[in-house]
Structure 1
């Protein structure tokens, strides 16, 4: 009798599903289904929406796009490890994401799009 084989793709997909479930349960953050996202543009840069906030921050359901550190840095024209939004008005959300450059899951911070826009306007 042979034991079942778990492929790396299956393991990664399972972990991504767990992360999405945890993000919804703990922060009311949902992943955007492939193809359902928007292009978020700011200045001459643009990124693809991957997450959105469904939390109520006191004014009803938020619904804002959430950007990773790398996405926020891209929109703000930053190409180093500086914090792209040092004083966000909406609380950033900490989740774990797959980092293709490192080939593993890493802690990541998601910033509300309005905070990135406000930081852009400061510059």
Structure 2
């Protein structure tokens, strides 16, 4: 007698769903799926929105795109190990799926990435 077969894809999708649920419950951050995101462009670089913030930081719902540290580095033109030392809105830690498996990553608000972009231009 055999039970249902669980594939690696099933396990990965389950874990991604758990990460998304945790981000929503603890930070009011939504994972954007499929083609529902926006293209975010700064200078000559662009990335696809994968997360958005629905938290209230004191002025109503935020609704800002959130960038992973790799996406922020791409937009600011910095190495991949880039981080924003003092973001105006605290970064949100999530686990993201990379070519090396699930890795802890920080999500930065677009406004903080834009501020870093302009600092890098000076």
TM-score by length of 2: 0.94
- Confirm or deny that 1:60 pairs with 2:57: no
Which residue number corresponds to residue 96 of structure 1? 95
Q: Could you tell me which of 107, 110, 123 is aligned with 2:107?
A: 110
Runs of 4+ aligned residues of structure 1 deviating over 6 Å after TM superposition are none
Uncovered stretches (5+) of structure 1, i.e. residues with no partner: none
- Confirm or deny that 1:18 pairs with 2:15: no
C-alpha distance in structure 2 between counterparts of 1:11 and 1:120, whole Å: 37
Q: CA RMSD in A?
A: 1.0
TM-score by length of 1: 0.93
- CA displacement at 1:80 relative to structure 2: 4.2
- CA displacement at 1:3 relative to structure 2: 3.2
Aligned residues: 120
Residues 31, 82 of structure 1: alpha-carbon distance in 2 compared, 3 angstrom cutoff: closer
Residues 54-106 of structure 1: CA deviation (Å, up to 9, x unaligned): 000000000000000000000011124232x211001100111111x20x111
C-alpha distance in structure 1 between counterparts of 2:118 and 2:96, whole Å: 28
